[in-house]
Structure 1
């Protein structure tokens, strides 16, 4: 009786599927990376604002200007400052940045990413 060797390894179709899946994942990663990096800079500017001692007495215009300066240093100039809101709650203020980023993927397909960050500062009105 003859001993047949068992085949091992991946077929061409299996390899194409793995490579296609990997290429698609890399495509998504590189397309979605810039909005997340910009969001990281925006969140960093908001946290830096929260560490300032006089933020509780600042007006909305002063807060926007402070965040604009931080974003200008970090080269995130394309952010719309009208997305910054200020809410008063009793003895504290809440600075909120809520915005959406639309990333064109291919043809008429786009990805919509929503971001929402806030800090609460206590102190004067």
Structure 2
């Protein structure tokens, strides 16, 4: 009995499927990347606003004005200044700038990025771990 062993590699169809999947993931990264970098900018801005808060000098309107100026200066379009909640609770001032970004991927497929860790207590540059 003579058994002949054949070596076979990946077929053209297999390589095409892998190339399509790889292309889809690269396209997703390219479309989601700018939103994620914008989120990092928003996080930096809110940390800066929270850190620079002076309770005896600043009020809620001053905080809102400062946030609007920084968002405009840094060309942040995903988050509008009026969407940022600034409120007082138990004698403390809180800044809640949590938001969602919906990015169309293709046809009826959208990706939703939820940025819900942008809650700050004014005067502290680090985000809160829980809801105020």
Of stretches 22-31 and 85-94 in structure 1, the one that deviates more from structure 2 is 85-94
Unaligned runs of 5+ in 1: none
In 1, Cα distance between equivalents of 2:20 and 2:108:
21
Q: Does 1:38 align with 2:45?
A: no
Shift of 1:119: 0.7
Of stretches 111-120 and 33-42 in structure 1, the one that deviates more from structure 2 is 111-120
In 2, Cα distance between equivalents of 1:56 and 1:7:
78
What residue is the counterpart of 2:122 in the other structure? 121
Confirm or deny: 8 A CA contact 1:49 1:67 kept in the other structure: yes
Shift of 1:59: 2.7
RMSD (CA atoms): 2.3
- Report the structure, 1 or 2, having the larger strand content: 1
Unaligned runs of 5+ in 2: 124-132
TM-score normalised to structure 2 length: 0.76
Q: How many residues align?
A: 122
- Report the structure, 1 or 2, having the larger helix content: 1
Report matched runs for 1:68-107 at 5 Å: 68-77=68-77, 79-107=79-107
Of stretches 29-38 and 98-107 in structure 1, the one that deviates more from structure 2 is 98-107
Confirm or deny: 8 A CA contact 1:56 1:121 kept in the other structure: no
TM-score normalised to structure 1 length: 0.79
Name the SS of the counterpart of 1:6 in structure 2: coil
